Structure 1
Amino acid sequence: MTFRIRRVTTTRAGGVSTPPYATFNLGDHVGDDPAAVSANRHRLAEAVGLGDDRLVWMNQVHSANIAVVDHGGTVDETDGLVTTVPRLALAVVTADCVPVLMADARAGVIAAVHAGRVGAAAGIVARALETMVDAGADVADVSVLLGPAVSGRNYEVPEPMAAEVEQALPGSRTRTGRGTPGLDLRAGIANQLRGLGVRAIDVDPRCTVEDRNLFSHRRDNPTGRLASLIWMEPAS
C-alpha cells in the first residue's frame, strides 16, 4: 500500500494567545498561559481533521534522541519521532530551528525532527533516517521537507562556532547579510541527506527572522512557537 503524506506548518495567525505569544502559539514551554496553548493545540487538531489524541508532541531538549511512537501524547526529552501508524501526526515546535519532516510513502514510515544547531551537529537527522530504515523505510523512497527556519543571512555566530558546526555538518557555514560568520542549517542538513542517499528534498524558503507572520526567538524573545506536522493517510 502507498500512503498519502500530509505536511502542515502553522503561522502566528488563528489562535487565542495574547502578546508576546500572539496568537497561535503551540509551544507549552515558553511562558504562555497553558489554557491558551491547549486551546491552540485543539484548534490545530481539528483543523487537520485529527483528534487531540492523534497528535504526538515532544518536550524538546536539543538532543539527538529519537523515539518510535504508536499513540498520541507527549514524549519527554526527545527531538525526533518516528512512526508507522497511519493518521498519527508527529509534531515539531520551532521558532528558528529547522523542522525536518521525512516520509517513505511506499513503506508507510514517517519522521519529524527538531534540528537546532546542537542537535543537527550531533547528527539527529541521520539518526532519524536510520531509525526509519529500521522500521522498514527505503532511503531511495524517502522525501524530506525542511520547514521555515532562520536563514544563513540572519544567523550570526562566533567564528569558532561556525567552524565547529561546519566540521560536524559540512555545508552549514556561511556569511550573514552583514558579512559576519553565520550558519545555514538547512543547507547543511540538505547536504547531509544527499550524502546519505536521499534525493527528494524540498526547502521552505521562509526565514523566521524576516517573516513577521512566523515566530522567531532571535527576533522577539520571548515569543511563541510554530508547529510543523506530518502524518499518513491510507490511499483510497
Structure 2
Amino acid sequence: MHTWHWHNWEGLPYLTCNLLKPWSHGFFTQQFWPRLPNELTQALQPAASAYRLKQVHGNTVLTPQEVDDHVNTSDDDLALADGLISQQPLQAVWVASADCTPVLIGDVKTGQVAALHAGWRGTAAKIIPEAIMRMRSHGSSLADLRVAMGPAIAGEVYQVSVEVAAEIGSSIIPDDDLEKIVDTLHDLPNSPLLRDIEPGKVRLDVRRVNVLQLEQLGISLEQIAIAPYCTFQTPEHFFSYRREREKKVQWSGIVSGSK
C-alpha cells in the first residue's frame, strides 16, 4: 500500500503521497478556501509558476504554453480544459475538485507532471488515458509514470443512474448494449459498481474505473495510489458538492522537476 501523509502550511492541513515523493505536491483541504493556486504554490515551491484552468468536465489536456497562448489571444482569463501537463521544470499545475477525482501524475525519468480533474464525465471521456497519450508524445514511458488519485467521493455513497454507470463503463467495456455494460461491470473482480435499493440506480466508484483504464493501458497497480479519504464522508477536511451543494473546491497541485 502506498502511504499518505498530512502536512501543515501556515497551520492548515494538506495531503501528500509517497508515490509522488520526487515532486513537490499536495492535495489541499477545504481549510485553504478561497485561496488560489498562485498563492498555494508558495507552499510547494515558491520559485514555480502556477497554472490552472476553467474546468468543464471534458477530456482536454493542455500545456502551460497552450494556456498562455489562449489567454493572450482571447478575452478569457482562463483556458477551458480539465488537465494540464508541464513542459519544463518549475511549472506548478493545479486542478480543483469537490467530489470529482483530482489526479496527479509524475514521470520519474523526465520530471514531467500532470494534474487532471476526473469526474464521471471526464472519466467516461478517458481524460487520464488522454493525458498519458500526451505525456508519451513528450517522451514518457508507461513504466516511469506514477499516478496518485486524491480525495474524492467514494463508491458506497455515490448514487448514479444506470445510464451514467453504462456511459462511464463503456470507457473500459466496448459494447453498445447498456445492460450488458452494467452487468459486465458488476461481474468484474473488485467491481466499481455497488447495488442500490432504488430502481434504476447504482453506486459508482469513479476512482476504480480510472484504475481499470490505467491497467488497460499497461500501468501496474504499484504505479497507482488512491487516497483513503472520501470527500462526502470527511466534512472536517473536504468540500463535497453532493453534501453541501455549494460551489466550493479544494485544490490539488504538483510541480515539475528537472530531468
1:84-103 alignment to 2 at 5 Å? 84-103=87-106
- Structure 1's unaligned 5+ residue stretches are 16-23, 26-36
Q: Distance in 2 between matches of 1:211 and 1:69?
A: 33
Q: Distance in 2 between matches of 1:107 and 1:41?
A: 24
Which residue pairs with 1:57 in the alignment? 52
When residues 110 and 9 of structure 1 are mapped into structure 2, their CA distance, relative to the original with a 3 A threshold, is same
TM-score (structure 1 length as normaliser): 0.80
When residues 206 and 96 of structure 1 are mapped into structure 2, their CA distance, relative to the original with a 3 A threshold, is same
When residues 226 and 176 of structure 1 are mapped into structure 2, their CA distance, relative to the original with a 3 A threshold, is farther
- Structure 2's unaligned 5+ residue stretches are 1-20, 69-76, 174-184, 186-190
Q: RMSD in angstroms over aligned alpha carbons?
A: 2.4
* Structure with greater helix percent: 2
Which residue pairs with 1:8 in the alignment? 26
Query: Percent identity between the aligned chains?
Result: 30
Is the 1:54–1:72 Cα contact (8 Å) retained in structure 2? no
Which residue pairs with 1:187 in the alignment? 208
Q: Distance in 1 between matches of 2:229 and 2:256?
A: 25
SS in 1 for 2:24: strand
Is the 1:70–1:83 Cα contact (8 Å) retained in structure 2? no
Q: Distance in 1 between matches of 2:91 and 2:195?
A: 38
Report the Cα offset of residue 168 of structure 1: 2.1
Between the two proteins, the alignment pairs up a number of residues equal to: 210
SS in 2 for 1:50: coil
Which residue pairs with 1:137 in the alignment? 140
Report the Cα offset of residue 178 of structure 1: 6.1
Is the 1:139–1:198 Cα contact (8 Å) retained in structure 2? yes
- Residues 129-166 of structure 1 show CA distances to partners (whole Å, capped at 9, x for unaligned) of 00000011111111100111001011101122212221
Amino acid at match of 1:81: L
Which residue pairs with 1:127 in the alignment? 130
